[in-house]
Chains A and B, each alone.
Chain A
Amino acid sequence: MLLINCPYCGERDQSEFTNGGEAHVARPKDPDQVNDREWSEYVFVRANPKGIYYERWVHTHGCKKWFNAIRDTSTDEILKIYKMGETPPPIKRFKNTLRSPSGEPDVGSGNFTVKKP
């Protein structure tokens, strides 16, 4: 269970929060004008990388406020938390260590080729 530092309340257990998916996915300015493909990309397509990821969280059982986080999905380490409306820090600022728990390769789940880094 993660420990998440809510920018309004402080450190709380993960069980108090809800994940809101990828952050900074821009809604098309004029939804009536986009075609189905562009609309479905906005609704469904997400980056889902193995590594550093922008995402949204909401403190459901607390202040109920939304905020953004930068998390390394391979280690579940939360690298930065910032409020809604703040400029997202560039991803380059964080070192992508890709240190995954069971020594998996950089890409894929590693079900077949388990090798230590």
Chain B
Amino acid sequence: MSEHKIYFKFDGKTYGGNEGDTIAAALLRNNVKLVGRSFKYHRPRGIYTCGIEEPNALVQIINEHNEPNVRATVKKIYEGMVVKSQNRWPSLKRDLGSINNILSPIFSAGFYYKTFMGPKGFWKNVYEPLIRRTAGLGKPPREFKSKSIHLHHNVDIVIVGGGFSGLLAAKKLAATNYDVLLIEREDSLGGILKNAKKIESINDQDPSDWIEKTERLIQNSSNIKILKNTLVTTYNFNDHLIAVEDKSVGKPQDNEKPELVLHKIRTKRTILANGHIERFISFRNNDLPGVMLAASFEKYIQRYGVVPEESPVIFTNNSSTFSLVKSLVGLGHKPKAYVDVRDQKNIEKETVELLTNYNIPLYANSEIEGCEGKNNISEVSIRAKKNKIIKIKTSMLCVSGGFNPDIHLFTQSKGLLEWDETLLAFKPEKTFQNTITLGSVSGNFSYEKLVGEINKKLDFLEGINDLEIKLNINGPKRFQIKELWETKRAKKSLWSKSFIDLQNDVTTKDLKQAVLEGFNRIEHLKRFTTNSMGTDQGKISSINALGIVSRILKKKCFRSWNNHLQTTIRTVKFLSHRWKKYL
């Protein structure tokens, strides 16, 4: 692991990373946690996730085009790459714009709309140039001469996602008469099997061996074609998919060859196996560098071999963080504390056993009240039972607020969603086109039931056999979650912030203010607060926003909204009809 091969520059300093590292993974390898400044308040921001859902770690790549707003968690490094942080002056550590953070009580939601009204002509000549200089993302790119090409495909079945369910579906379809296209976003197949230690063995083999074997089987069957580094972006009518293939992964730009290929795919059936995205929980200063989603933390360990921090604090409201503890203790590290929102009796006995075995303190029925630190977390405060505040020194905090099935493509296909009260998430209910959802995108978070689900849903296809597989699963078998969107603050201060949208600097207080000012329709609220309007489109936070707003509305306008709002969950459901198209 210590063999550094690829050297790149970040803000003028040279760092080394391994081949296949993303910018974020390489920076974490070098213990760099501060990577950017936020949009409005210029607060220090770090790496929050490990994939396309990243709201914070946006950087500018200095090359022929000066690409702005590149997600550091997606872009792979190459030799001699020059990366710069964004939205800061004169430097990342000392940013003059952070004066906005001190003035933040006046910059609440709607500040711009209300303040910069007149006199006439001032907006265009004075206010706008001024605001543009301090607010915003990267610098505009230079002229972009695309060498990209497009290709057409006509196939019988498209499998979106080469994770566990995608591989199983492909295995089932291997050596049949169907013409199949398997599309994977990352540069290797395997998905969750590579990202987390959730499954110990498949058919008594190591998961990585199983992936290799399955991939070989798929490659050897003439009817399946695999596209890697390809992201399906659009799902149109009549099962028409648009996918973008990145040809320049881990390579500098080539002036002769196309860097992107656009695939236009017409298919008879679409199998969506594109997984899930983790979401966070809002608490005081939940945007500080050092806060990271728990599944992403584990992905850095398992996929990239980087341990961002050897003894983090883990904060969760569900059963999924078992594998993170397992990954850490497997490497000889030990989390400092395990904070679980659920009652002691609801926490799975596997988790409790693991924690006791390794002598990790478990705080049940507790929550993270907030955290302290300047450019990185230094201390978290836990509200334990009976409102007792316990302070723990740490440099990283892993948060897990549950999972959203990645239903973006499913909603584009015009399918209907339903709210699942046990998963606390939206899952597909009724398809509109020839769509089949498999695995966690269909709301099935149980690996045990996965094979049964695939056999059942693909049963109607001709010439396929029943899959049989023996799994040895790590940790809790059932997914369990307790509802929590925002934790309670200990002190009330004008400057304390708990963020709901990290990219656009929307706080939970802004949501409350928007409701107070009458923007209580979710579309209005979105536009008034700019919640989930960034480049990440609120992938890790928009359901949380729905949860918080529905709670406020239930309390304040219960009578007038009575027809629609019987319970919180129904409110979420009601509001989300309008919101889901932005998910």
Which A residues form the contact surface with B (CB < 8 A)? 1-3, 13, 75-76, 99, 101-103, 114, 116
Contacts and interface: CB of A to CB of B under 8 A. Distances in A.
A1 B414 contact: no
B416 A2 contact: no
13 contacts: A1-B236, A2-B238, A3-B238, A3-B240, A13-B240, A13-B266, A101-B432, A102-B414, A102-B416, A103-B416, A103-B577, A114-B577, A114-B578
Given A102-B414, A102-B416, A1 B238 contact: yes
B578 A1 contact: no
B582 interface: no
B116 interface: no
A2 B237 CA distance: 6
Given A3-B266, A116-B416, A102 B577 contact: yes
A99 B432 CA distance: 9
In order of increasing CB-CB distance, the 10 nearest A-B pairs are A101-B414, A3-B238, A114-B577, A1-B240, A1-B236, A2-B237, A76-B237, A2-B238, A101-B432, A103-B416
Contacts of B416: 101-103, 116
Contacts of A13: 240, 266
A114 B579 CA distance: 12
A13 B578 CA distance: 30
A103 B417 CA distance: 10
Interface in B237-251: 237-238, 240
Nearest to B234: A1
Contacts of A1: 236-238, 240
A114 B432 CA distance: 17
The residue in A1, A2, A103, A116 that gathers the most chain B C-beta atoms within 10 A of its C-beta is A1
Please report whether the interface of chain A is mostly helix, strand, loop or mixed according to DSSP: loop
Contacts of A103: 416, 577
Contacts of A114: 574, 577-578
Contacts of A76: 237
Nearest to B266: A3
A13 to B, nearest CB: 7
B572 to A, nearest CB: 14
**In the complex, which range does the number of interface residues on chain B fall in?**
10 to 19
Contacts of B432: 75, 99, 101
- Name the residue among B236, B238, B266, B414 with the largest chain A CB count within 10 angstroms: B238
Interface in B433-475: none
A28 to B, nearest CB: 36
Interface string B308-325: 000000000000000000
Contacts of B574: 114
A116 B574 CA distance: 11
B129 to A, nearest CB: 37
Given A75-B432, A101-B432, 18 more contacts: A1-B236, A1-B238, A1-B240, A2-B237, A2-B238, A3-B240, A13-B240, A13-B266, A76-B237, A99-B432, A101-B414, A101-B416, A102-B414, A102-B416, A102-B577, A103-B416, A114-B577, A114-B578
Contacts of A102: 414, 416, 577
Contacts of B578: 114
Contacts of B238: 1-3
Nearest to A110: B577
A1 B574 CA distance: 29
B85 to A, nearest CB: 40
A97 to B, nearest CB: 12
A53 to B, nearest CB: 16
A68 B410 CA distance: 31
A68 B315 CA distance: 61
Nearest to A75: B432
A13 B264 CA distance: 11
A2 B574 CA distance: 30
A65 to B, nearest CB: 21
A102 B237 CA distance: 14
A90 B574 CA distance: 39
A100 to B, nearest CB: 9
A95 to B, nearest CB: 17
Nearest to B523: A111
A87 to B, nearest CB: 27
Contacts of A99: 432
Residue of A3, A101, A103, A116 contacting most chain B CB atoms (<10 Å)? A101
Contacts of B414: 101-102
A111 to B, nearest CB: 8
A104 B236 CA distance: 19
A17 B320 CA distance: 50
A15 to B, nearest CB: 9
A9 to B, nearest CB: 15
A1 B238 CA distance: 7
A102 to B, nearest CB: 7
Contacts of B236: 1
B268 to A, nearest CB: 10
B496 to A, nearest CB: 37
Nearest to B578: A114
A75 to B, nearest CB: 8
A98 B266 CA distance: 25
Interface string B404-426: 00000000001010000000000
B576 to A, nearest CB: 10
A99 B433 CA distance: 12
